[in-house]
Structure 1
Amino acid sequence: MIPDQVMSSGIDTSPECQDNKNHCDKNISALKLIFLLGIISLFGSFVSDATRSVMGPFLLTLGASGAIVGLVTGLGEFSAYGLRIISGYYLDQKRKFWQTFAIGYGLLFTIPLLFFTRTWELAAVFLISERVGKAIRAPSRDTILSYATDTTGRGWGFGIHKSLDQIGPVIGPVFMVFMLEMTGNYEAGFAYLTIPLVIMLLALLFVHRLAPRPEEYESIEKSHIQKDYYDFFIPYAVYLFLIMAGFASFPIISYHMALTGIVEYTRIPLYYSLAMIMTSIIALISGRVYDRKGVAIVGVFPVLNIIIAYNIFFGMESGFFTGMILWGIQIGMINTTLKATIADFSNISMRGTVYGILNAVFGTSWLLGSFAIGVLYDISVFHVMWFVVILQMLAVIVFIRMIYVLKKRS
């Protein structure tokens, strides 16, 4: 059991809480649920990001070509995001929150099986299976979180979870570097990833006992009167698409680093870790701001995207350093506010589907945008900059439409 003193830092201290013991107990229980889900995500991200950090070189040792590496990566990411539409819809129809949650995280156990692989074809099956697991677990995890954050505050609850989750992408790649230094091969690292997976499994078993019916955390009155903002979500989805399409992925950024020599080759992973640290920190801050200011906080994304692109593609190392800090901040803000917004503006009975759709938009737009940026980069970085600026100008227009819809509905 997690000590109440540890969890109390985020507990509501309003008179309502002080006068209503049931309200306080529910708040404490919800925070414990969010904390445990964060621990599960931490160890899950530890395993998946440790693997992703060496996936390309590992497949190369098995005889895969560059095209095969690109194909496996693309299929994996498409599976991780595109299939969420199906898993989210299934979740809403069957309401089997913990079953889909467990299956999705259970597929992470395909990673240690890479220890036994001797062909890139079998490795590809295991790697893509893990990404399918992400598509299965993400809508159920986010839906469960949406119920718990109704008690703690949407932004703050999702911020806590994201902050814990981002520890995994920081330490996972470092762990693999350590294992490579110690053993000289990738297979040993994959085998030792069984340890965090077992810890994750134990936490998963405990969290199910804590909240067998997570939907009970959300106010019955609110779930009955809440309506779907379809006229809001269409421009919101378009806005998200434009933002992510103009947001360079790290493989493109790291390619730019290596090609230009702005950053020493051995220091490239450190910039990614720096960005993930900033993501973890900003998730908590942006969550609090969202609870106070609402969806208006997402209006800063176009400005940040332009500043990030300029610093990364035109700055020297100092400007690049600033760009990567802002890159990590942008990821933390997008992930926290996206999930909080869906929870606030979607009907409880359709939340899994909405999470699935918007996450699919998120992943698809980032994939297409990164491909477009890569093509334009081969022509000129000026083409990349114009691409980003035009998309963000369009995003501002869509954002104005979003705010208009909200004011009209209020």
Structure 2
Amino acid sequence: MEFNYRLILMLGVTSLFADWLYEGMRAALPQYLKALGASALFVGLLFGVGDALGYLLRFATGPLADRRGGYWGETFAGYAAQVLAVAGLAIFPSLPAAAGLALLERSAKALRTPARDAIISAAGGRRQSMAFGIHASIDQIGAVLGALTSTVLLALGVAYRDLFLLLALPGAAALATLWLAYSSRLRPRRITGEGRGSLRLPLLLFAASQFMFGASLMHISLEMYGETAAWLASSIYLAAMAFEIPASLLWGRLHEGRRAVVFAGPPVAFLATLFFARGDLLGAFAGALAYSLATSYADIVAKAEAVRMSSGGRATALGAVNAAFGLGYIAAGGIYGYLLQEGLLAWAPAASLCLAAGSFLFAYLSLRSL
């Protein structure tokens, strides 16, 4: 199949609007929950359970999409549920409803991501990493717009209810763009040659590599937590999101025809943690750039490798590898969060180095077993 540039662009614009929707919501959600009476423990548990649910469900949603075929149904349903979840926050202003809708939004992302990535993979033909790189770079623009929208509107005194209703507008635009992509002549309605995939040894080894890769990466929120000025913490996060746009294109280009680029991820994750553990401003921004390189690696290189190692089920492979990274990422929150809490952050680089070395080893074994 030839490289379907126009379809990849349309799916990228769809994701741009969707990221604008849910990243804007997530940027405001902790403060909104606090206003509804939630404790810090409740907020922390809700985000942790939501992220875990969003990744764990991909072990099921990937095979589901492969068994059904087509992949468009799951993609539409996931995006639509995210729009309804954000709009629902404005309609049902209570703590139980907000918690349930936040979990619905994460579950919806788990439903549509493996299916959508399977469509991108099919549209990419032999240029898998470039297809994912282009899509991710456009997608990340939406994340920047979402965070900026919430920051600016809340600073101007816009009520949470009005903010969530306004964020539903880019969500509606995402569904409209997705419909244009589906109804055009650009897309295959059904991706042939698929079916239920199996998790072969190379893919399982690579998933283990991605789990350890995620666990080796200190989450940027912990670096932000350590900053005394709120605007400075936001600036670090914004720098990371903005740099991920060119980083995605870079990984897409580098990985084409160079499978050795697979081994570049673990050292980058270690560098991000090393910089974050320095505890100074230079380390914070250097770590933010390395952090962007690490997360975009997971979105580009790891997804392209998952497709190459799949045995007939793209969504199954993509869901498994992405979920493994996510679970490692959640484990990293516990590891480095504990070290930060106990004043032992100086040990973070050593922990990251061990985990990154394990990731490197499993990646090597996965390629050798093909």
Give the structure-1-normalised TM-score: 0.84
The amino acid that maps onto 2:330 is: L
Aligned partners of 2:115 and 2:236: how far apart in 1?
31
Aligned partners of 1:191 and 1:395: how far apart in 2?
42
Equivalent position of 1:114 in the other structure: 89
Identity over aligned pairs, percent: 24
Superposed CA deviations along residues 27-64 of structure 1, whole A, max 9, x for unmatched, are 4xx11110111011111111111111121111000001
Aligned partners of 2:348 and 2:298: how far apart in 1?
21
Q: 1:281 aligns with which of 231, 246, 257?
A: 246
How far has the Cα of 1:215 moved from its partner? 4.7
How far has the Cα of 1:183 moved from its partner? 3.1
Equivalent position of 1:346 in the other structure: 310
Superposed CA deviations along residues 59-116 of structure 1, whole A, max 9, x for unmatched, are 0000011121122112211221111111111111111411111100001222022112
Instruction: Kindly report which structure 2 residues correspond to 1:99-138, keeping only aligned pairs within 5 A, or say none.
Output: 99-109=73-83, 110-138=85-113
2:370 is the alignment partner of 1:395: no
The amino acid that maps onto 1:231 is: L
Structure 2 unaligned spans of 5+: none
Q: Check conservation: 1:144, 1:214, Cα contact below 8 A.
A: no
Instruction: Kindly report which structure 2 residues correspond to 1:35-114, keeping only aligned pairs within 5 A, or say none.
Output: 35-109=9-83, 110-114=85-89
Superposed CA deviations along residues 183-220 of structure 1, whole A, max 9, x for unmatched, are 3422211111122122112111111112553555x8x7
Aligned partners of 1:98 and 1:232: how far apart in 2?
28
* SS of residue paired to 2:333: helix
Superposed CA deviations along residues 262-313 of structure 1, whole A, max 9, x for unmatched, are xx3212112112111211101111111111212x112122222222212111
Which structure: larger Rg? Answer: 1
Aligned partners of 2:272 and 2:10: how far apart in 1?
33
Alpha carbons of structure 1 residues 75 and 42: separation in structure 2 relative to 1, 3 Å: same
* SS of residue paired to 1:347: coil
Equivalent position of 1:231 in the other structure: 201
Aligned partners of 1:307 and 1:241: how far apart in 2?
17
* SS of residue paired to 1:292: coil
Instruction: Kindly report which structure 2 residues correspond to 1:121-160, keeping only aligned pairs within 5 A, or say none.
Output: 121-150=96-125, 153-160=127-134
Equivalent position of 2:369 in the other structure: 405
Alpha carbons of structure 1 residues 228 and 293: separation in structure 2 relative to 1, 3 Å: farther
Equivalent position of 1:305 in the other structure: 269
Q: 1:195 aligns with which of 138, 163, 169?
A: 169
Aligned partners of 1:383 and 1:310: how far apart in 2?
10
Equivalent position of 1:333 in the other structure: 297
How far has the Cα of 1:166 moved from its partner? 0.5
Aligned partners of 2:315 and 2:272: how far apart in 1?
32
Q: Check conservation: 1:241, 1:365, Cα contact below 8 A.
A: yes
Alpha carbons of structure 1 residues 100 and 165: separation in structure 2 relative to 1, 3 Å: same
Alpha carbons of structure 1 residues 397 and 190: separation in structure 2 relative to 1, 3 Å: same
Q: Check conservation: 1:147, 1:214, Cα contact below 8 A.
A: no
How far has the Cα of 1:163 moved from its partner? 0.4
Superposed CA deviations along residues 315-361 of structure 1, whole A, max 9, x for unmatched, are 5212221111111122112210111112222133x222122222221
2:149 is the alignment partner of 1:186: no
Give the structure-2-normalised TM-score: 0.93
Alpha carbons of structure 1 residues 195 and 184: separation in structure 2 relative to 1, 3 Å: closer
Q: 2:150 aligns with which of 172, 176, 181?
A: 176
The amino acid that maps onto 2:297 is: M
Aligned partners of 1:126 and 1:393: how far apart in 2?
39
Aligned partners of 1:362 and 1:399: how far apart in 2?
13
> What is the number of residues matched between the two proteins?
366
Equivalent position of 1:293 in the other structure: 258
Q: Check conservation: 2:199, 2:317, Cα contact below 8 A.
A: no
2:218 is the alignment partner of 1:248: yes
